[in-house]
Amino acid sequence: MTALPAGYTLARDVALRPRNTFRIDARARWFATVHDAQSLSALLEERDVRSLPLLVLGQGSNVLFADPWFEGLVVHLVCDGLRVLQDSPGEHAAVRVEAAHDWDRLVDRTLRLGMRGLENLALIPGQVGAAPIQNIGAYGVEVGEFITAVFAFDRVLHSMVRLEAADCGFGYRDSLFKREPDRRIVVAVELRLPRDAATRLEYAGLHEELVAMCAAPTPLNVATAVRRIRRRKLPDPAEIGNAGSFFKNPVVPLDLAVALREQHPALPTYPAGDGHQRKLSAAWLIAEAGWRGFREGDAGISAQHALVLVNHGAATGAQLLAVARRVAESVEANFGVRLEPEPRIVGATF
Ligand code: FAD
Ligand code: EPU
């Protein structure tokens, strides 16, 4: 390892297995740990790495390494400060959070400071810097609603930039950052959080969970309920390798959704887009096609939740990807609906 006074350390041939929640055995040619985001420019100019492909890696909870060798530079940020920029009692608070801050810890900290909004997003794994990449969402809320600006190092402009929320192209599990991967290294996120806002309990099952807990739920109660539901529904990466939902819920034209519902009345569908589209439950389609609990070697589909691709131990990224492709082909053959993967696939295309 080369230790530099420059705000980062650079190591060669680094194991990525402890750094991805699929627990895929992969290695990177170079791995940079960045303590000071201002040093990114110097890091990317380093002779050994400047012409290599780049991958920004947070906690690795939404990546699948399809190839066991990454012939490039992995950039991992470790700056995790939080600063309250402005606070108007009874109105809003503005906070700036550095990229490496743990997401769930941020949810907890802001709620304890009396700031609302992030409670429905409790227990999503990952760093704050990754939150805008796919505009993380859960239980009827998306982070893009609260982001005012994203600060990033832009590799094309070779400078730090501030992107206003309106310029981030946030959509369902989508953003400008996801469409141009690794062009911008997110170094901090600015959020505007209401101090006084109604709780949002529309997502199926959330209200019911709270009724059993308390009469007038606070945002902290909502976060507790969300955590409970998530622990029940989703396999825990500490116990079995996974990256949460492997596929996005497909958004299809309204007439296709209506036709599918006529054939399959139990298929859950949700509003999407401008009313001419509907979002379908990918989990239901996959389960209905018979894949729930499927296992071949150590690669499979969770028996707990059909949307979760799992590594029972020693599956390679290629084996996991092969199962995911078969699932998608089977859903397309059965229902005429194409599934798109949600996580970043490194070293292959879907
Ligand atoms: P990584 O997995 O390390 O990276 C993901 C992508 O973001 C990669 O393309 C990476 O290059 C890029 N990236 C990461 N950090 C940066 C940065 N600083 N700058 C630029 N690019 C960056 N997601 C949801 O939306 N909702 C959920 O409910 C949800 N539930 C999950 C449950 C489980 C059990 C798991 C394992 C995952 C779940 N996810 C969910 C997915 C995941 O938690 C999120 O996508 C999270 O934001 C990923 O954070 P990370 O730090 O692990 O990012
Ligand atoms: N369902 C099945 N079989 C299953 C699981 C679910 O048929 O094995 C059906 C049920 O009818 C259920 C419906 O699917 O009512 C929806 O299930 P769930 O509430 O678990 O939500 P989801 O659509 O499967 C999405 C997100 C999750 C997020 C939850 C809660 C996507 C791709 N996934 O899952 O996000 O936590 O809603 O908001 O949008 C992630 O992105 O990694 C992730 C976990």
The angle formed by the CA atoms of residues 102, 105 and 109, to the nearest 5 degrees, is 135
228 is catalytic: no
Distances (CA, A) of 180 to 77, 98, 143, 184, 312: 19, 21, 19, 8, 32
Strands laid side by side in the 241-245 sheet? 241-245, 308-311, 299-301, 295-296
- For 59-81, how does the pLDDT look when each residue is reduced to its tens digit (9 = 90+)? 999 999 999 999 999 999 999 99
Measured from the Cβ of residue 336, the count of other Cβ atoms closer than 10 Å reads 11
Q: How far is the CA of 77 from the centre of ligand 1 (A)?
A: 14
According to DSSP, residue 121 is labeled G
Q: What's the rounded mean pLDDT across residues 3-22? A: 90
Quickly state the pLDDT bin for 96 (edges 50, 70, 90).
Answer: very high
Crossing angle of helices 103-112/219-233, nearest 10°?
A: 150
Give 172-176 contacts, CB < 8 A, sequence gap 24+: 172/135, 172/137, 172/142, 172/248, 172/249, 172/251, 172/272, 172/279, 173/134, 173/135, 173/137, 173/248, 173/342, 174/134, 174/135, 175/132, 175/133, 175/134, 175/135, 175/144
Measured from the Cβ of residue 74, the count of other Cβ atoms closer than 10 Å reads 24
- For 132-183, how does the pLDDT look when each residue is reduced to its tens digit (9 = 90+)? 999 999 999 999 999 999 999 999 999 999 999 999 999 999 999 999 999 9
- For 212-240, how does the pLDDT look when each residue is reduced to its tens digit (9 = 90+)? 888 889 999 999 999 999 999 999 999 99
Q: Is 233 in the pocket of ligand 2 (CB under 6 A)?
A: yes
Which of 101, 124, 189 for mutating ligand 1's site (highest number of atoms within 8 Å of CB)?
Answer: 124
Which of 230, 251, 284, 339 for mutating ligand 2's site (highest number of atoms within 8 Å of CB)?
Answer: 284
pTM: 0.97
- For 238-252, how does the pLDDT look when each residue is reduced to its tens digit (9 = 90+)? 999 999 999 999 999
Single out the catalytic residue among 98, 142, 209, 342. 342
Q: How far is the CA of 196 from the centre of ligand 1 (A)?
A: 28
Handedness of CA 122, 124, 127, 133 (dihedral sign): negative
281 is catalytic: no
Compute the distance between CA of residue 259 and CA of residue 166 in angstroms, rounded to an integer. 35
261 is catalytic: no
